[in-house]
Structure 1
Amino acid sequence: MARKIIRRFLPDAAAVKEKPALQFLGDLLHDPNLFHLNRHSVSLAFFFGIFFAFMPLPGQMVLAALCALWVRCNLPITLALVWITNPLTYAPIFFATYQLGRWILDVPSLATSSEHNWAWVMEEFSHIWKPLLLGSALTGFVIGGLGYITMQLFWRWHVARAWQRRKDERQQRDN
């Protein structure tokens, strides 16, 4: 089953629940839906994990975890997918989402400067935040939606293949 494939990469639910740093969540963390591996839970985790990965906000993981708690989808998968944007990938990803937002809003390109200091960043941020946020939200929604659909289709394909394999085994035994 698809569960067996995914379960190999996830931490044990009991180990996560016993972490002292997470005890403030109380009974919320003991909801079994947060660790279930079913088609619905995993697909939603893919959507929200990818969506928050593309959001250029501080605390992406916290926001993704709160969303996973709210919609009761698989928490470890949601948090793992937020790491799509990591120190190696965030610059090209957010540059591409900025360019998409800039294209949609029809905003002219910024003039480049040879001096990149904190004052320059703060001044330019007032010009780039709208295209960056729009491009990131749109990209996160589309790629998250594709992740959701892909997991739904993968899960169905995997179950159908297992059923067919069992059917073939029964036919071979009967012959």
Structure 2
Amino acid sequence: MKKLLKRYSPNLDELKNHKHLNWFGKRLYHSSLWNFNRRSISKAFAIGLFCAFIPIPFQMLLAAPISIIFSANLPLSISLVWITNPITMPAIFYVCYKLGAWLLGVNIKQDFAMSLEYIWQVFDIIWQPFLLGCLVISITSSVFGYFAIQFIYRYKVYKRVKGF
């Protein structure tokens, strides 16, 4: 898997030739943003999963600078936000709303309709449970993703050393 990811990642020398990326500064060319090691991949999963469940458009624009600041694998962080895409977003955000409503003890309306018109009508009621659910799932998935990658990486190293 690591070899496959490396093969499709951009080359640092190629990136330096793109002048439109200079607004990130020299930090964009830091090797940890493009390496596939335990630390950078774990951070990338944490950042990507956290940003995926934040209900804003263009989540990649949030994931990229956070990845640069924390020296996480940039391509992986950006690609992980696509867990919430136009196809999966309604179901994921509905689960976020239900979780937030359950945590706040809000009664969920049974006459739910999957339409923008309905959402605008009840926005004043649903925004707090929705944002709370998104925050809880963002943090939970981020922490879980970070430690899951740490565990998987260490387990694979352990298996390699023991000769399994």
Q: Deviations over 1:138-174 (max 9, x none)?
A: 1121122111111101111111222223xx8xxxxxx
After TM superposition, the structure 1 stretch with the greater mean CA deviation from structure 2, 17-26 or 123-132, is 17-26
Q: Is 2:97–2:129's contact at 8 Å kept on the other side of the alignment?
A: yes
Give per-residue Cα distances to partners, 1:6-43, cap 9 Å, x unaligned: 434x4223345544543322212112121122111110
In 2, Cα distance between equivalents of 1:34 and 1:153: 21
Secondary structure of 2:122's partner? helix
Q: What is the TM-score with the length of structure 1 in the denominator? A: 0.81
Could you list the per-position Cα deviations for residues 50-105 of structure 1 after superposition, in whole angstroms to 9, with x for gaps in the alignment?
A: 11111111231111111111111111110111000111111100000100001101
Q: Which residue of 1 aligns with 2:52?
A: 53
Distance 1:113 1:87, change over 3 A: closer
In 2: Cα distance, 1:103 partner to 1:69 partner: 36
The letter for the 1-side match of 2:56 is L
User: What amino acid is aligned across from residue 57 of structure 2 in structure 1?
Assistant: P
Count of residues paired in the alignment: 163
Gaps of 5+ in 1: 169-175
Residues 62, 163 of structure 1: CA spacing in aligned structure 2 closer, same or farther, 3 A cutoff?
A: same
**For structure 1, which segment, 76-85 or 22-31, has the greater mean C-alpha deviation from structure 2 after superposition?**
22-31
Counterpart among 132, 157, 160 of residue 159 in structure 1: 157
Distance 1:114 1:42 in 2: 39
Equivalent position of 2:70 in the other structure: 71
**Equivalences for residues 38-49 of structure 1 within 5 A:** 38-49=37-48
- Percent of matched pairs sharing the same residue: 34
- The answer to which of 19-28 and 132-141 deviates more is 19-28
CA RMSD of aligned residues (A): 2.4
Deviation at 1:117, TM superposition (A): 5.9
